[in-house]
Amino acid sequence: MAGNKDFDLYRPSEEHDELRKVVRSLAEAKIAPYAAEVDEEGRFPQEALDALVAADLHAVHVPEEFGGAGADALATVIVIEEVARVCASSSLIPAVNKLGSLPVVLSGSEELKRKYLGPLAKGDAMFSYCLSEPDAGSDAAGMKTKAVRDGDHYVLNGVKRWITNAGVSEYYTVMAVTDPSKRSKGISAFVVEKSDEGVSFGAPEKKLGIKGSPTREVYLDNVRIPADRMIGEEGTGFATAMKTLDHTRVTIAAQALGIAQGALDYAKGYVQERKQFGKPIADFQGIQFMLADMAMKLEAARQLTYAAAAKSERLDGDLTFFGAAAKCYASDAAMEITTDAVQLLGGYGYTRDYPVERMMRDAKITQIYEGTNQVQRIVMARNLP
């Protein structure tokens, strides 16, 4: 697995290129055939999980010392990008495994790392990330979920909303208020297990896209957990949650790149085949210009995303700006490119007989989660290079 921390800012190494080939062929053979069905039926892509676990690609970011593949941030981006190229829902398996577990990687004790990263690396458990609540989305620090100390334990109560892979994951990083007088500095992070008494889940949300990725509420009803499940010190949970997003917004950018690449590849093939006015529509300059713009936007987004991945790997000081910029730019590009792909297929593009309408619906979420693109602009403005 690629693990070279000194890679060129903009150019993946030969190892990264090799990884891309491996993931692409696995994704085309074992994930793509189920993508339309998973979307249509709104079911979890079990085939994708099985294939990713069998190839050790389900949580590549886990460090080697905890039994993982030890992939660098760019390698993780490439895995997510190539899975998203065929099925965005499936790409949330490696992406959210990183999102959910990164707080433990960044701030957890040695014992927490050993206990929770090992099963994740083996494919025995998935990890989710619980920050958002019904009344605390963009203003996540306004959360109400509480964790109250009781001897050697904490007791958690509250509702987390929009939790990706809820119900499927064994482990949940939960941000909760431990000192209501301190707002964001009174928030702590904990690992909660699905099997902890008092944990339950809401009905799956009925969504526009990524229909194969379960999104549910997580209910915490007097969930009593040992105090050593706290990630880092009391009051550091919000800072850990934000530091995590600096890194994982790069993986949402990767997802956007993959979705856009899938749509561009499909449209490129279609315009060669489709004939109007006695010739392939690819012969019309109006069509060629659209494809040129799509490819140009995609490549600009890719360069920014890979630069951000390099910064994530090196823990550069300007990662906060770059993570937000990559996520915002790549997701906006993906929305434009997938919309243009539907346009290039004409009426056929508007039907479920072709994959581009699914890609357009899936692209939309990349502008919303891990902070909306308005929030990304707030983050960038506060961290201008």
Ligand X SMILES: Cc1cc2nc3c(=O)[nH]c(=O)nc-3n(C[C@H](O)[C@H](O)[C@H](O)COP(=O)(O)OP(=O)(O)OC[C@H]3O[C@@H](n4cnc5c(N)ncnc54)[C@H](O)[C@@H]3O)c2cc1C
Q: By rule CB under 6 A, what count of residues binds ligand X?
A: 22
Among 116, 127, 154, 162, binds ligand X (CB under 6 A): 162
Applying CB under 6 A, which of residues 371, 376, 379, 380 lies at the interface with ligand X? Answer: 371
Q: Does 138 bind ligand X (CB under 6 A)?
A: yes
Q: Does 132 bind ligand X (CB under 6 A)?
A: yes
Tell whether the torsion through CA atoms of 106, 174, 49 and 44 is positive or negative: negative
The DSSP result for 16-72, as a single string, is HHHHHHHHHHHIIIIIHHHHHHHHHHT---HHHHHHHHHTT-SSTTS-GGGTS----
Task: Tell me the closest approach of the beta carbon of residue 380 to ligand X, in angstroms.
Answer: 13
Greatest CA span in the chain, whole angstroms?
79
**Residue 368 interacts with ligand X (CB under 6 A): yes or no:** yes
Q: Restricting to residues 59-78, which ones interact with ligand X according to CB under 6 A?
A: none
Q: Is 122 helix (H, G, I), strand (E, B) or coil?
A: helix
Identify which of residues 209 and 355 has a Cβ nearer to ligand X in the complex.
209
Nearer to ligand X, 93 or 130 (CB): 130
Residues near 259 by beta carbon (within 8 Å), at least 6 away in sequence:
84, 85, 88, 334, 338, 359, 362, 363, 366
CA distances from 172 to 231, 285, 310 (A): 12, 51, 27
Which amino acid is residue 282, in one-letter code? A
Q: Any contact of residue 164 with ligand X (CB under 6 A)?
A: yes
> Pick from 304, 375, 379, 380: which binds ligand X (CB under 6 A)?
375
Residue nearest to ligand X (CB): 137
Q: Which is nearer to ligand X, 136 or 295 (CB)?
A: 136
Catalytic residue flag (residue 217): no
Between 340 and 370, CB nearer to ligand X:
370
Q: Is 131 in the site for ligand X (CB under 6 A)?
A: yes
Whether 83 contacts 28, CB under 8 Å: no
Q: Which residues make up the interface to ligand X (CB under 6 A)?
A: 128-132, 137-138, 162-164, 207, 210, 215, 365, 368-372, 374-375, 378
Enumerate the active-site residues.
370
